[in-house]
């Protein structure tokens, strides 16, 4: 095996491992979210984006416990919290702390503004909310903030290469997504336990999803990628996971599991996001135009 391969498969110490820091930070955030069990709302101050017409009502704390806190203050506390916990991990993994702090701050607030504008009522409001928001129309694109963020990222990466290079120290999408996967997985587990009445339905649907995604879509995608597009296993396996399971998070998790080069999940994630963005913009329009519309019910 060549030097690059040896470095690729070399096991990192726990304090230097991105995977382990994703686990630790994810479990730390999840543990804080369990505060209400002991009567303490430890994360209720985290900012939440509302669909807005009046910008002063766009930001609120996620919990009613902090309803008197201003949205701007909530956003700033959220920024500080994420900055502190991720800086600890980044420093342990060998990042340049000053560059990371500056880069993370820039990325956070750019992303924040994208989500803020993406939640404008004329963009994000669903048809059933238009009356309450007193608007005559909306695009009904609730995820547009993420699309805007993707477009901004593509512009920065392709037309402002010096700026992108400066942000590189803090641009750690794999780490952030892995951390999110840990939080999401733990939360789903708790919600499942709390809804034992739905256990049979969850189990049956889960088995169907496993058979469908893992035993049909995954091998078919992998076969096509290898046979017709001549992808190597390093590329084909994360691509198959991304297509058949759950998009970017699955592609990144698979790439980490097979120890693919960092460029592999980054490129595949970008491809998946582009396709998702196009589908989010086009498919609803196609559905509303060409699919069957249920007419008004007939009264006898």
pLDDT digit string, tens, across residues 4-33: 444 444 566 778 888 899 999 999 999 998
Among the three residues 194, 213, 244, which one is the final residue of a domain in this structure?
A: 194
Residues 54 and 203 in one domain: no
Residues 263 and 186 in one domain: no
What is the Cα–Cα distance from 211 to 217, expressed in whole angstroms? 9
- Say how far residue 33 (Cα) sits from the centre of its chain: 18
The backbone region for 120, taken as left when phi is positive above 0, alpha when psi lies in -120 to 50, beta otherwise, is beta
What pLDDT, on the 0 to 100 scale, is given for residue 9?
A: 46
Tell me, yes or no, whether 81 lies in a domain: yes
The end-to-end CA distance of the chain, in Å, is 77
Tell me, yes or no, whether 122 lies in a domain: yes
Tell me, yes or no, whether 244 lies in a domain: yes
Residues 184 and 204 in one domain: no
Residues 215 and 167 in one domain: no
Residues 56 and 185 in one domain: yes
The count of structural domains within the chain is: 2
Tell me, yes or no, whether 90 lies in a domain: yes
Burial call 62-100: b when 16+ CB within 10 Å, e when fewer: bbeebeebebeebbebbbeebbebbbebbebbebeeeeb
Residues 9 and 98 in one domain: yes
Among the three residues 133, 159, 194, which one is the final residue of a domain in this structure?
A: 194
Residues 71 and 166 in one domain: yes
Residues 92 and 174 in one domain: yes
Tell me, yes or no, whether 270 lies in a domain: yes
What pLDDT, on the 0 to 100 scale, is given for residue 298?
A: 47
Tell me, yes or no, whether 98 lies in a domain: yes
Residues 206 and 252 in one domain: yes
Residues 202 and 250 in one domain: yes
What pLDDT, on the 0 to 100 scale, is given for residue 16?
A: 84
Q: Which of 176, 15, 9, 152 is nearest to 83 (CA)?
A: 176
What is the Cα–Cα distance from 24 to 20, expressed in whole angstroms? 6
Quick check: 30 and 183 in contact, CB under 8 A? yes
Tell me, yes or no, whether 291 lies in a domain: no
Among the three residues 153, 168, 194, which one is the final residue of a domain in this structure?
A: 194
Residues 38 and 165 in one domain: yes
Residues 173 and 220 in one domain: no
The residue range of the domain holding 224 is 197-283
What is the Cα–Cα distance from 290 to 255, expressed in whole angstroms? 38
Residue ranges in the chain whose pLDDT is less than 70: 1-12, 188-203, 292-300
Tell me, yes or no, whether 299 lies in a domain: no
What pLDDT, on the 0 to 100 scale, is given for residue 246?
A: 78
What is the Cα–Cα distance from 40 to 46, expressed in whole angstroms? 14
Residue 99 neighbours by CB under 8 Å, 6+ apart = 166, 169, 170
């Amino acid at each position: 095996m060549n030097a690059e391969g040896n470095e690729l498969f070399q096991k990192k110490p726990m304090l230097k491992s991105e995977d382990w820091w994703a686990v630790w930070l994810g479990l730390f955030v999840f543990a804080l979210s369990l505060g209400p069990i002991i009567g303490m709302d430890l994360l209720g101050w985290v900012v939440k984006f509302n669909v807005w017409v009046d910008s002063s009502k766009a930001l609120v704390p996620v919990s009613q416990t902090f309803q008197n806190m201003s949205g701007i203050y909530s956003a700033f506390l959220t920024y500080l919290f994420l900055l502190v916990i991720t800086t600890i991990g980044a420093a342990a993994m060998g990042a340049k702390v000053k560059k990371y702090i500056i880069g993370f701050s820039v990325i956070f607030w750019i992303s924040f503004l994208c989500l803020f504008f993406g939640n404008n009522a004329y963009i994000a409001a669903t048809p059933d909310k238009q009356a309450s928001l007193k608007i005559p129309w909306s695009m009904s694109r609730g995820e547009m903030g993420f699309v805007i963020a993707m477009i901004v990222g593509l512009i920065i990466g392709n037309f402002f290469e010096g700026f992108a290079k400066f942000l590189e120290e803090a641009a750690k999408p794999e780490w952030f997504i892995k951390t999110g996967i840990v939080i999401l997985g733990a939360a789903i587990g708790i919600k499942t336990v709390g809804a034992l009445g739905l256990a049979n339905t969850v189990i049956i649907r889960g088995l169907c999803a496993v058979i469908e995604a893992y035993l049909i879509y995954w091998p078919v995608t992998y076969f096509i990628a290898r046979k017709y597009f001549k992808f190597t296993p390093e590329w084909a396996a994360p691509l198959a996971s991304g297509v058949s399971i759950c998009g970017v998070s699955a592609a990144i998790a698979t790439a980490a599991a097979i120890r693919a080069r960092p460029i592999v999940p980054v490129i595949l994630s970008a491809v998946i996001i582009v396709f998702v963005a196009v589908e989010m913009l086009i498919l609803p329009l196609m559905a509303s135009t060409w699919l069957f519309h249920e007419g008004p019910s007939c009264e006898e």
